[in-house]
Chain A
């Protein structure tokens, strides 16, 4: 078992014919993901990487019955791509694109609130259910099927958690990079609820970072709704206030959103926290003993 995606997931790629879309879709196909079509406006009827290309998401969904879309279109067009996918009835939209303007996301979030569509990202590595379905830019080989669910705001830091749980022999059910922007689709809480309900997920790793209050809200949710062991790390203890640390969302403003506050909230919720990102795997192994 896994959450959100698996071997049955039919995936389309918006921006398939672009450089990023081509490169990463090829990697996903190699991994075994059922990518069934691409969408590039104006290129309908063409074939790319052996996949049919459609002008619109609606056409692609009608012809392929895909339920998932991964988006690699450039930032100026990403919000539109998300809305197009949602309007076409796509159930899960994974937006990899980095640099989407926050006011675009304010609009996107307001529209999605009235629709039956989940969004992961933007500015994220994507989602993977090891062994069956990779949707995104993460290196497939570091994953192995297993029992840990991973949720993270960061890309390469997610890979650390994955690699460590692979090496510890635990493996992963599903790994979700929720993205580093201020406004994003699925949040920690949405993923925690799904992992809690997934019988094969025995433990959950949560990787947060400075900025915002998503980790604090996750801590409250864990207290009330999560029974499985959770191990957490928060990046940015040494980050100065008022400076954006790469991610648009990673900024301590008005003294709020510090790593210490987040560690404290998670510890109060009974979460095992690690101060070194190198200890995520070993802490999870210990929690599952």
Chain B
């Protein structure tokens, strides 16, 4: 789950990590009031969306007067911001964050994340801040500094010093960095973060170290113990169908093709998409209905799939396992009837009572096509989708 910049900065402030003064606004009038309350002479109006690259996309604007703050807020609020990370439709700007501008001497990069191969939390830092850090890592990997945290030892002083020297910080700035690192690590664990990123972390003209930006991702598996953070979820920033799927304990990802799939198990769901592609089709989604594949889940899954107008055919691929295939077939038949599926459906079932399951599907009069095996299923669905496409 992603947080907005303003939410992340509030958490930073709570943990004692220095951030510029800022206020949230959802109307131009509020933005003006925010600027007046903050005082100063220059403000930054920042679009709050769950995507990086806001600056280049025109989502971060400088204002030299309070009325200019209002104009920027007016121009941004209620629009979609398209960045290189947002997808072509962009993300809605429902909130702006008004900040007192900081005088920047240097721009650094700092992040914490779980490194899966090290199986540890790792700190990454770079003197090349304010840039696309993935490009820095690819082009000049020597500019990326890392420190791996052992769970028992945490951050050692020598690691903080090495980062401080590596970033070319003065002695007092190094002390500030070490303080920030300690607090970031506390925040990372307390919030069950999967990523905390500050890009840029700045050195101000007065020589102090400040988090000018803030990005926090919370690990989904840990949300059960992060109630306060769960309340910060902004579903307007998320794919509507993916939200709906989550509400039904389904895992769904939209894709660009026209063949929908519904599969039990994430690995098999990916493999089914690959198989469709291998046989010349294009998958419309990833959808894992989970191990049970109950009638209730399957019905919810059909509804989510059919909300996508591109869908020309649906492939259901269930490896029954412990759940009997005849029960799954009954679930599919009930769901197809209830939802009123108008596009062709191919079902591939495998597992206990498979013959009975296939017979039920064949007898259902709902035009559900049973496939004999994986390959047969893929060939049938690709042919049906291209017929439908031609007819339309």
User: Which residues of A are in contact with B by a Cβ distance under 8 Å?
Assistant: 27, 75-76, 99-103, 105-107, 109-110, 137-139, 141-142, 152-160, 163, 180, 182-183, 207, 209-210, 212-213, 233, 235-240, 242-250, 254-255, 259, 275-278
Contact = CB atoms under 8 A, between A and B. Distances in A.
B225 A76 contact: yes
Given A182-B116, A183-B116, A277-B374, A106 B274 contact: no
Nearest to B274: A237
A139 B224 CA distance: 30
A160 B274 CA distance: 15
Contact of A154 (B119, B224, B266, B322): B266
A246 B269 contact: yes
A107 B114 contact: no
Contacts of B375: 276, 278
B262 to A, nearest CB: 13
Interface stretch (B203-211, B214-222, B338-346): B214-222
Contact of B322 (A99, A101, A137, A237): A137
A76 B224 contact: yes
Interface residues on B, range: 35 or more
21 contacts: A100-B221, A101-B219, A101-B221, A103-B222, A154-B265, A154-B268, A155-B265, A155-B268, A157-B265, A159-B321, A180-B266, A180-B267, A233-B271, A238-B283, A245-B269, A246-B269, A248-B220, A254-B137, A276-B275, A276-B374, A277-B275
B222 A101 contact: yes
Interface string B169-206: 00000000000000000000100101000000000000
Nearest to B257: A238
B106 to A, nearest CB: 25
Interface string B89-128: 0000000000000000000000000101101110000000
Contacts of A139: 320-322, 351-352
Nearest to A277: B271
Nearest to B195: A253
Nearest to A104: B222
Contacts of A236: 270, 274
Nearest to B224: A76
A138 B321 CA distance: 7
Nearest to A153: B267
A107 B151 contact: yes
Contacts of B219: 101-103, 248
B288 interface: yes
A259 to B, nearest CB: 8
A235 B225 contact: no
A235 B286 CA distance: 12
Nearest to A216: B117
A76 B283 CA distance: 35
A20 to B, nearest CB: 10
Contacts of A183: 114, 116, 119
B50 to A, nearest CB: 12
Nearest to A106: B151
